[in-house]
Structure 1
Amino acid sequence: MTTHDTPATGDLAPLLEPLKALANPVRLQVLQWLREPEEHFPVEPAVTDPRTVGVCVSHIQAKTGLAQSTVSAYMAALERAGLVRSTRVGKWTHYRRDEERIARLVQDLDLGVGQAHAAQLLSP
């Protein structure tokens, strides 16, 4: 077994799930859109605040142009990775970025792979 085949363990293991989630360009794009939800999605203040409650999955689906099931699977992957949080409003699920977790991820990347690489991976 070469060093390239060695599984990541220890300090780098918590980075794997978020990095796998971000490896998909659509998931990365959605996470970037959710940074400034008012700029990228319809705002319905009478229904929810996109900053505190999140953006309705139907708006994310409409913007991506993908099937609802695909978008739901993508959002579930981002949520499992700890990058977004979901909130149910009636029958709809809303998503918002987990800024605390993203900040920790950047810090972990800085410690694990170096600051220059961490900034490049998560910057829009």
Structure 2
Amino acid sequence: MAAAGDGVTDVDDQVNDALKALANPIRRQMLGWLRDPRANFPTGQGAADLDEYGVCVSQLQEKAGLAQSTVSSYMASLERADLVIGARVGKWTHYRRNEERIARLIEVLDRTL
């Protein structure tokens, strides 16, 4: 059994956090939309550049048809799992995928499943 702090437990915790965040189908769908924000969201609608900052919560809210509080909660869950990166632009919060973290998660799952 792995001892705490040996790296294995840390990786297991990170994978578990990511899988918990991905257990919700709408959160998975939102992460999928963020894969290609220009194809999934109108340009010029957010407060900042899609490529640099990502998609505004209001854009996600509109596309998902959910309350702002629900979308914010979903995105916070994905951010805690390090699957997205949040950025404040003025009073708006924007999210983009953390491609490095997603790639690492896929590698770990490929090796362990």
TM-score by length of 1: 0.79
- SS where residue 43 of structure 1 aligns? coil
CA distance in 1, matches of 2:112, 2:88: 35
Deviation at 1:110, TM superposition (A): 1.1
Structure 1 residues 68, 111: closer, same or farther in 2, change over 3 A? Answer: same
RMSD between aligned residues: 1.7
> 2:57 touches 2:94 (CA, 8 Å); kept in 1?
yes
- SS where residue 51 of structure 1 aligns? helix
CA distance in 1, matches of 2:45, 2:20: 33
Which residue number corresponds to residue 32 of structure 2?
A: 32
CA distance in 1, matches of 2:30, 2:77: 12
> Does residue 89 of the first structure (1) align with residue 89 of the second (2)?
yes
Unaligned runs of 5+ in 1: 1-8, 114-124
Length, aligned pairs only: 105
Deviation at 1:64, TM superposition (A): 0.4
Unaligned runs of 5+ in 2: 1-7
CA distance in 2, matches of 1:80, 1:32: 17
> 1:87 touches 1:93 (CA, 8 Å); kept in 2?
yes
CA distance in 2, matches of 1:25, 1:49: 27
Which residue number corresponds to residue 76 of structure 2?
A: 76
> 1:86 touches 1:94 (CA, 8 Å); kept in 2?
yes
Equivalent pairs: percent with the same residue? 57
Letter in 1 for 2:107: Q
